[in-house]
Structure 1
Amino acid sequence: MALLWTVVTVSCSIFLTPFLMFLLAIIFLASIGKSLGVRRLYVKILLKIFEYGRQHIEIAKKDRQGSRDNSDDEEEIPEDGKNKPYANCNGTGPYKINGFVPTSAGGVISRDDLILVPDPEQNINTGNVTPTESMPELPRRRSFETLKREFQLSDVLDYVKTGVEAIIEDQVTMRFEAEELKSWNLLTRTNHYYEFISWRLSAIWMVGFFVRYFFLLPLRILICFIGVMWLTICTGIVGYVPEGPFKRWLNHRVSIMCFGVLSSALSSVITYHNPENRPKNGICVANHTSPIDVLVLACDNCYALIGQRHGGFLGVLQRALARASPHIWFERSEVKDREAVAKRLREHVSDPHNPPILIFPEGTCINNTSVMQFKKGSFEVGGVIYPVAIKYDPKFGDAFWNSSRYSMVHYLYRMMTSWAIVCDVWYLPPMTQQPDESAIDFANRVKRMIARQGGLVDLVWDGQLKRMKPKKEWKEKQQEEFSKRLKVD
């Protein structure tokens, strides 16, 4: 018994001591905002492995196809394996980037004619016109006799074609699915057969599976648990500090430190651009891909948060954060609560000592390819708006959270079994509402700027369509618009 106890003690001292030192190093580096560069080196190694796998996949495809030209039915993949644009199989189609669809249509449908949107005045009739540009004029009204002589089937074909396209692949549904990858990232969730193309790839995939599930996953879960406990303890301590400049400074340092520790649980590699535009106060708005967006931004700045009240794991974090800083949580279904939220938002923005409040105006998560309609509420408050664009690199893992399909725990499991979370953050110049500009126009202008900087598709559709049916008045507007085309004098 004494010998067994000695073996256990020695084993714990051998394995736990280095691990505790590792955790202390993570907390210390997060507190001073520094990094050893291990995660970036890890990402570089992954890129080389992905490139090696891509080359073997291409070789295997060529062997299977023999002398057939791959360009006839396969999309060309860049030789350097990097995230560079490339053309469709015939060399004339729209350019695509790995995990990103830069056209308004996206997949199998190429919409070069009419595109129906909620407001008929924004319908697109040419392939190069954006929803914000002027639309071509409708055909002139014709008399009844002229209509009988010159009636053309094309009067209705635009709508028929658009309806068929919507059935095959509409603009909204595809924004709530995982991004399409053009090169394999060694995750079975992104393919069904690549790991068995050659024994070399099979061996690499098996090693990667072991590393992700038996080394990274337990380590990340432990770091996440410690990070949440550390966040809870630190915010609790900050909550007891009297209000004043010292508490604001302490909250700022504690927030960045704690979220820096949590980012280690996902092997996050974040690149921040234009730090001179980092929000100081007011309202910060960003495109929304997942709850990790908060983590990504909070690693570089302290924010107050506004959002739907959650239970479970997110609820623990919300209650912990509320102790140290003024946050606004609301119930989505309570209209009266929304009015109170708008009032609290104005009060928060009016105090220059409060940290900037972070808002995701889309109101739901989009799959990192597009920016959908911004709710006008946060743009009616007044003051300065600080736009932020976030773009994830899907080669290392899909950051999109489909809340209608996966629970928060399942989503975190998928994140922790991915290779890493790699993303870019752009701080854009602050924007203010123009005197003759409505809140809706202001929101669209900010959205357009975020989409352009992040390389995202700018859509006018409401992201809540994944939870509800289109509004009746949208259909009536389209019917009225079509009737104008056939109206006779």
Structure 2
Amino acid sequence: MDLDRPNVEEYLTESIQESHENLILRDLIDISPVLTEAAGAIIDDSFTRCFKSIPPEPWNWNVYLFPLWCLGVVVRYGILFPARAMILVVGWIVFLSSFIPVHFLLRGHDKWRRKIERKLVELMCSVFVASWTGVVRYHGPQPSMRPKQVFVANHTSMIDFIILEQMTAFAVIMQKHPGWVGLLQRTVLESVGCSGFNRTEAKDREDVSRKIRDHAQGVDNNPLLIFPEGTCVNNHYTVMFHKGAFEAGCTVCPIAIKYNKIFVDAFWNSKKQSFTMHLLRLMTSWAVVCDVWYLEPQNLKPRETSIEFAERVRSIISVRAGLKMVPWNGYLKYSHLSGKHMEEKQQIFAESVLHRLEEK
């Protein structure tokens, strides 16, 4: 059956419009994976989430609980904080008045001097924990001084070291810090075998493996503690462990630390807060509550690489502390992409989209 001319033109017009709409739809479908990936990276970035504090749900903004919250603020800042500050001041006075004479007067008796200094450092760390009203539960056998062993733990804050140090005088390899923390590192902490490095200097990072091997060989050295993540993570995740502690030929003793956020979030975001302000926040909270597990020592298995060994130990710690493992290097936290590099990537993406649209 023949169609008249108006019907044929109408049919062709509709077909052309439909084809044009299909081409546009196909173009959108072609670039949708890229857009989805970009949106997902912005909304659900598993890397940046590792270094962000997750605020608790608000509970005090109603007529019944707000007065109680105000009363709690008065108690924390008006009663607990002054009492805790007094404990800290008295602790520092006792510590310094004992540590300085021992450090300088017993230099000819290194064995006794090191033993007394260890006890004094443990005492000062206990004072710090008391200034937060710390409630710490330790699980498992306490570490002992043995050669060829290294202790590794997940890292949430510099107070991890204080909490572990109050029970055992660990020697720790730590990032160098400025200010009063750096002064303590160069004086008090060096007396128990601690040493520092700068993560921004390649030479310092290369020396870490050598320091680990040298310290682990000593019979009288304090147990060596390392935080292989290399940075503080928010106690919800664990990032990749650096392999330095796992290629030294030593027995690795995992330690898992988990903080209870019901009273305070112990995560230290060093980019946004100084350690002094971090301590003040802890001292004005209700309490610092955490669990510490000393886990079963691990050794390198046959045909297992140091990287695989590190991941196996990280898995043991993550499972015990209930943390999620993510495949990121923590040092990326301190890396910044140049503006030129970002503009080049944006230009390449824009050109690819425009070229595809021109072809259609």
- Which residue of 79, 90, 94 maps to 1:230? 94
CA distance in 2, matches of 1:273, 1:309: 30
Distance 1:337 1:280 in 2: 26
Instruction: Tell whether 2:265 aligns with 1:403.
Output: no
**Identity across aligned pairs (percent)?**
37
- The range that moved more, 375-384 or 230-239, is 230-239
Using the alignment, how far apart are the partners of 2:302 and 2:98 within structure 1?
44
> Of 145, 154, 167, which aligns to 1:280?
145
Give distance in 1, aligned partners of 2:103 and 2:293. Answer: 31
Does residue 268 of structure 2 align to residue 268 of structure 1?
A: no
Q: Which residue of 2 aligns with 1:195?
A: 60
Which of the residues 310, 328, 338 maps onto 1:461? 328
**2:19 alignment partner in structure 1:** none
List runs of 5+ in structure 2 lacking aligned partners. 1-27, 346-360
Greater Rg by CA: 2
Q: Which residue of 68, 90, 107 maps to 1:204?
A: 68
SS at match of 1:204: helix
* Greater fraction helix: 2
Deviations 1:291-315 (A, max 9, x none): 1101111121110121122122312
The AA in structure 2 aligned to 1:195 is: N
Q: For the Cα contact (< 8 Å) 1:279–1:386, is it kept in 2?
A: no
Question: Is contact 2:118-2:192 (8 Å) kept?
Answer: no
**Structure 2 SS opposite 1:195:** coil
Alignment gaps of 5+ in structure 1: 1-152, 183-190, 476-489
Code of the residue aligned with 1:169 in structure 2: it is D
Distance 1:234 1:158 in 2: 65
Q: CA deviation at 1:465?
A: 2.5
Q: Contact 1:270–1:422 at 8 Å: present in 2 too?
A: yes
* 1:421 equivalent among 285, 288, 293: 288
Q: Secondary structure at the match of 2:262?
A: helix
**1:339 partner amino acid:** E
Indicate the residue corresponding to 1:451 in structure 2: 318
- Distance in 2 (CA, whole Å) between partners of 1:215 and 1:372 is 39
CA positional deviation for 1:363 = 0.8
TM-score normalised by the chain length of structure 1: 0.59
Work out the number of aligned pairs and report it: 310
Note the alpha carbon deviations across 1:137-167, whole angstroms, 9 max, x for none. xxxxxxxxxxxxxxxx999876654432112
Corresponding residue number in structure 2 for 1:304: 171
Q: 1:236, 1:323 within 8 Å by CA — same for their partners in 2?
A: no
Flag the 1:227–1:162 CA change in 2: closer, same or farther, 3 A: farther
Native 8 Å contact 2:208 2:244 kept in 1:
no
SS of 1:395's equivalent in the other structure is coil
* Alpha-carbon distance between aligned partners in 2 of 1:381 and 1:158, rounded to the nearest angstrom: 44
For residues 439 and 154 of structure 1, the distance between their equivalents in structure 2, rounded to whole angstroms, comes to: 44
Q: What amino acid does structure 2 have at the position aligned with 1:307?
A: M
Aligned to 2:39: 164
Q: Secondary structure at the match of 2:156?
A: coil
Shift of 1:280: 3.2
In structure 1, the residue matched to 2:23 is none
Equivalent residue for 1:175? 50
Aligned pairs (5 A) from 1:337-356:
337-356=204-223
Structural RMSD (CA): 2.6
Equivalent residue for 1:329, pick from 196, 200, 208: 196
